[in-house]
Amino acid sequence: MKHIKFISLSLILLTVLGSCKKDFLQQNDPNSVAVTNYFKTENDVLLAVNGCYAALRSANTIGETSDLWTDQRSDDTGTNDSQSNSGEPFQFNNFSLVPGNSYLYTHWLAMYNVISDCNIILTNIDKATFTTANNKAIYKAETESIRALIYFHLVRQFGDVPLVVTQPTTVDQINALTFRVPQAQVYSQIVADLKDAVSSPLPTTQATGTIGRLSLAAVNTLLGQVYLTMATTQDQSNRTANLNNALTYLTAAYNYKSFGSLSSIPYTDVFDVTKKSTCPELIWQLVYKQGDPIYSSVIAANSQAAGETVDSQKPSSSVGDNVTHDLVFEYETGDPRMAFSIKYANAASVKDWYVTKFRDVSSAAGVNGYGGNDWILMRYADVILMLAEVNNYLGNTAAAIQYLDMVRLRAGVPTYEVSSQTAPYSTNFPTLKLAILHERRVELAFEHHRWFDLLRTFTNDELVSYFHAKSEANFGSAVLANFSSKDRYFPIPFKEYNLNPAKMYQNPGY
């Protein structure tokens, strides 16, 4: 990524706190800059856009350690400690989440802070002078895409959410915007933002010097996924149209690839820190700086279990990123992705499976675990499997299998046709739909896709049945019986609900 100097837009906002009589207490902060006066040059806009990118790295938004809102909500991994931190992280894995959960509230605030920053840029970008119209269009497209991405996460997690696309400047304006709108309205805004970005002069792919920035390949990928999600979770009267739109944009993303066959890219290369700037499978990633105490990656060190040395030189005293036995048992015999992605820790204090997919044992990362792993938001195996999914829904079975086999052949496992004739594969995945879901699980494990894949694949009732059919013994301390239809969405954080219980109504079951 281009060198980024980070700024916090919250520090340049002129916050309206109310009015009072003019007296000696009413003073101006000499270090503050009113937002209306900030955006003057192209570089001012660039710094602000870079700040939006930087905000995505946070564990409270969608960064590498944001698995509490994603994987830990699924059947892949989870926090089994129900005692530390008042048991709040465990609530996600245990399906016992309450509206007062402080982690959930922090996540909500962080996501809306990103949206606020994007809105500030889009509201004020016309005030700045640009060297070229293309640069202005690119920064606008990047900002719209980041806003769309955050809203896409929020609408899948919470359902109806407040939709704010302008910069409020008064308390009354803020109050007027504090209400949930129907999901369809949120999706319409997401699509509008991404369609605008698709038509922009963004580069087609990431390139040297722009690693970590958005491209047309990334925007098409996201828009295709949005349409696929709308087709499977929203108004079914538009299902076919949404599926065809998904096919159009995912195909466009696929056609931007700079490699021939997926099999030409070793699976391990995707996660190799020495190849993160050159691996052609990567579409968009969040950049972390190896060896830097502040901007380095921690996922390798945090994933590692006590007594292990595969992930990081940093010694661990914890269970690491714990893997459910449900996922362990889903890997097919001989699948090399299993050997690379997970390992059994045999220390006296652990004796369980942990994640090894993200590694940096380099001297640059050192014993402090200052890793160089970038967090991969999009890669081509994901696009290919979504193409398998959408083709299957459209009845293009042969095409769906062809895409599915691209991933299976790269992994070194038998084709779908061969595997579907054998047990236990045919027993565990009796339909092509379930076979694609399985492939996404083992290919994209721990990359924060699984929960959203489940929501896209099953209706509410089907998802409840899916979880209840699993073995409780494979989920540690989490109680599967807790899972019910309410768990399709998170609760609205209590502090947000309490602002206006009528307009910020609570999700059912909470």
> What are 328-385's pLDDT values in tens digits?
999 999 999 999 999 999 999 999 999 999 999 999 999 999 999 999 999 999 999 9
Quick one: pLDDT at residue 236? 94
Give per-residue pLDDT as tens, 27-81: 444 455 677 689 999 999 999 999 999 999 999 999 999 999 999 999 999 888 7
Q: How far apart are CA 467 and CA 460, in angstroms?
A: 11
| Token couple for 86 | 């008042």
SS3 371: strand
Using a 10 angstrom Cβ sphere, with 0-12 exposed, 13-18 middle and 19 or more buried, the burial of residue 413 is: buried
Q: Is 397 helix (H, G, I), strand (E, B) or coil?
A: helix
Residue 382: what pLDDT?
99
**Residue 416: which H helix or E strand, with range?**
helix 416-419
CA dihedral (443, 448, 449, 454) in degrees, to 10, reads: 110
Please give the pLDDT value at position 32: 52
Averaged pLDDT for residues 286-294: 97
Contact 436, 58 (CB under 8 A): no
Q: Is the pLDDT of residue 11 over 90?
A: no
- Centre a 10 Å sphere on the Cβ of residue 328 and count the other Cβ atoms it contains: 15
Contact (Cβ atoms closer than 8 angstroms) between residue 322 and residue 476:
yes
Tokens standing for residue 450? 């699984």
Angstrom CA distances, 68 to 52, 441, 506, stand at 21, 17, 21
Tokens of 107: 């996540």
> Which residues on adjacent β-strands are paired with residue 282?
379
CA distances from 503 to 97, 151, 410, 506, 507 (A): 22, 18, 50, 9, 12
> Which of 286, 284, 288 is CA-nearest to residue 222?
284
Q: How far is CA 183 from its chain centroid?
A: 19
The DSSP string of 309-358 is -SSBSS---S--SBB-HHHHTTSPTT-HHHHHHEEEE-STT--EEEE-SS
Report residue 449 as tokens: 């896709």
Rounded Cα–Cα distance for residues 303 and 319 (Å): 8
pTM over 0.85: yes
State both tokens at 434.
Answer: 């379930």
Residue 125, CA distances (Å) to 172, 224, 339, 449 in order:
24, 28, 49, 33
The string of pLDDT tens digits covering residues 248-275 is: 999 999 999 999 999 999 999 999 999 9
355 forms bridges with which residues in the sheet? 342
The pLDDT tens digits of the residues spanning 424-448 come to 999 999 999 999 999 999 999 999 9
Answer for the pair 136, 184: CB distance below 8 angstroms, yes or no: no
Ranges 85-89, 204-208, 469-473: which has the least confidence:
85-89
Nearest to 146 by CA among 257, 62, 233: 62
Q: Measure the CA angle with vertex 336, ends 371 and 432; round to 5°.
A: 115
- State the chain's mean pLDDT as an integer: 93
Other CB atoms within 10 A of residue 325 CB: 14
Asked if residue 318 lies in contact with residue 305, where contact means CB atoms within 8 angstroms, the answer is yes
Under a CB-based contact definition with an 8 Å cutoff, are residues 464 and 485 in contact? Answer: yes
Q: Compute, in degrees rounded to 10, the torsion defined by CA atoms 171, 177, 178, 181.
A: 180
Euclidean distance between CA atoms 68 and 429, whole angstroms: 28
Q: What are phi and psi of 353, to 5 degrees?
A: -85, 145
pLDDT tens string 91-137? 999 999 999 999 999 999 999 999 999 999 999 999 999 999 999 99
User: Residues 77, 446: contact at Cβ < 8 Å?
Assistant: yes
* Whether residue 510 has pLDDT greater than 50: yes
